[in-house]
Amino acid sequence: MIQKIDLAGSFTLPGTSMTLNRMGYGAMQLAGPEVWGPPRDVDAAIAVLREAVDSGVNHIDTSDYYGPHVTNQIIKRALHPYGKDLVIVTKLGARRGADKSWIPALSRQELIDGVQDNLKNLAVDALDVVNLRVGGMMEPTEGSIEEQLTVLAELKGQGLIRHIG
């Protein structure tokens, strides 16, 4: 059983009104082996999420490329409708190949599609925080991220993203 988190260990995200507890939940391992497909026990994954939130976790780190789509669908099944204090932080910038590979997905359309997939699979009208994943899996890469951040800023302007991480 997880111990209840001391809320004194919380902080407000700069420039927002979002207060996060220092302990969050990384949802990557909710998917099956190699972060692919469903977990062996979906009910257990749902129970883990509910226990985490019941224990004081108020932010979840996820991405629709986990599974793919599986992790966000489990989050939705476990926690929707979401509590007003729950912050879901998702990532864009990659996708999964049929061979389970991790492929950069940084074009304008891939970012737009990624936002739409996250919105649909989490069943929300806007994403709380979107982090942009850039670089290689194990090392940084060279180049500007201006184009990608411009797309995210446009989506924020449309009300689909609340904050860009």
Q: Would you call 139 helix, strand, or coil by DSSP?
A: coil
Please report, as a single letter, which amino acid is at residue 130: V
Which residue is listed with tokens 């302990």? 23
C-beta neighbour count of 160 within 10 angstroms: 19
β-strand partners of 129: 89, 163
Could you tell me the CA-to-CA distances from 22 to 56, 88, 112, 123 in Å, in that order?
10, 14, 30, 25
The type of residue at 85 is: D
- C-alpha 52/C-alpha 49 separation (Å) is 5
Residue 66 annotated to the active site: yes
Tell me the Ramachandran region of residue 86: left when phi exceeds 0, alpha when psi lies from -120 to 50, beta otherwise.
Answer: beta
- Give me the active site residues, please: 66
